[in-house]
Amino acid sequence: MPVTGGNVKLQWKPDFGARWAALEVDFEMYGKDHSTNTPIYDKICRILGHRAPDHFTYELFLDANGQKISKTSGNGISIDEWLTYASAESLSYFMYLKPKTAKRMHFDVIPKAVDEYHQQLRAYETQDLKAQLNNPVWHIHGGNVPKSDMVVPFSMLLNLASASSAEDKATMWGFINKYAPDATPESNPTMDQAAGFAVAYFNDYVKPTKVFRAPSDAERLALQDLADALKSPEAALAAIAKKNQIAGNEDPLPEADFCG
């Protein structure tokens, strides 16, 4: 079998240097676990007749407990998992910050990254040129920075999806419009996308583990009163009368309760 024409793949150490030469790579960034082998990669690249690229070494990614993320152990989250529950721009923002520092990459950092990214988008419009050039969103979008249409923070959307047991974005928008009546999926596409991400997270992670406790006797009585009150005004009055009788009130339907 010929070894040329892409028929075989080199072992991982020589593969780096050979790939740099074959593709004429000018810049390569990689994790610090490769840094000790960089001289080997560079030497192979030069032997094959190409200048070694400029390097940027970043720190390792850690899970919530500070352990190195590993495919074998399955801790932390992958890029694909991040993009299932948040936008690519939020991931770019997360990667942009402190590239030389080890990063804890687990789900709890996603809402923070999303909300901080949109904070930077909103700040960009009010900044002078120097501040804009120092703003991460200028680099993420190559100078063509969009406006944020997130009228509700992503962290709040996640809480809303869990509290309402939302199965789809329509349910989410029913609550969003109570806060922002003028917002729509068409005029706020990023918001609509974020609502979908929140529903996906609820269905994948929260719903399967959600457990409801049984109500106490007092809670059960209160819930029954509420259910009766929602059925009809007559049932509501009867429920109030019953409650006051149990409480020992002389007037089973005091005016305050009736007006309420």
Is 233 contained in some domain?
yes
Q: Is the pLDDT confidence value at 75 over 90?
A: no
Is 54 contained in some domain?
yes
pLDDT, mean of residues 126-152: 95
Please state, in angstroms and rounded to a whole number, the distance separating the CA atoms of residues 194 and 159: 13
Tell me, what's the pLDDT at 226? Answer: 82
Q: Which residue has the higher pLDDT, 196 or 74?
A: 196
Tell me, what's the pLDDT at 108? Answer: 84
- Which residue in the block uniquely carries the two structure tokens 């593709």? 23
Tokens of 37: 């082998």
173-232 pLDDT tens trace: 999 999 899 999 999 999 999 999 999 988 888 888 888 889 899 999 988 888 877 777
Please state, in angstroms and rounded to a whole number, the distance separating the CA atoms of residues 38 and 52: 10
Tell me, what's the pLDDT at 248? Answer: 64
Same domain, 26 and 89: no
Is 202 contained in some domain?
yes
Q: Which of 116, 148, 180 is the last residue of a domain?
A: 148
Is 138 contained in some domain?
yes
The domain total for the chain is 4
Q: Which of 193, 211, 229 is the last residue of a domain?
A: 211
Q: Is the pLDDT confidence value at 260 over 70?
A: no
Is 1 contained in some domain?
no
Please state, in angstroms and rounded to a whole number, the distance separating the CA atoms of residues 186 and 196: 14
Q: Is the pLDDT confidence value at 236 over 70?
A: no
Same domain, 34 and 106: no
Same domain, 78 and 137: yes
Q: In this prediction, what percent of the chain has a pLDDT beyond 90?
A: 50
Tell me, what's the pLDDT at 251? Answer: 55
| DSSP per-residue string spanning 63-103 | -TTSPBP-TTTT-S--HHHHHHHS-HHHHHHHHHS-TTS-E
Tell me, what's the pLDDT at 112? Answer: 92
What angle separates helix 154-164 from helix 189-201, to the nearest 10 degrees?
A: 50
Half-sphere exposure of 136 (CA within 13 A, CB side): 18
Please state, in angstroms and rounded to a whole number, the distance separating the CA atoms of residues 18 and 12: 10
CB atoms within 10 A of CB 19: 16
Tell me, what's the pLDDT at 259? Answer: 45
Please state, in angstroms and rounded to a whole number, the distance separating the CA atoms of residues 85 and 256: 48
Structural domain harbouring 222: 217-259
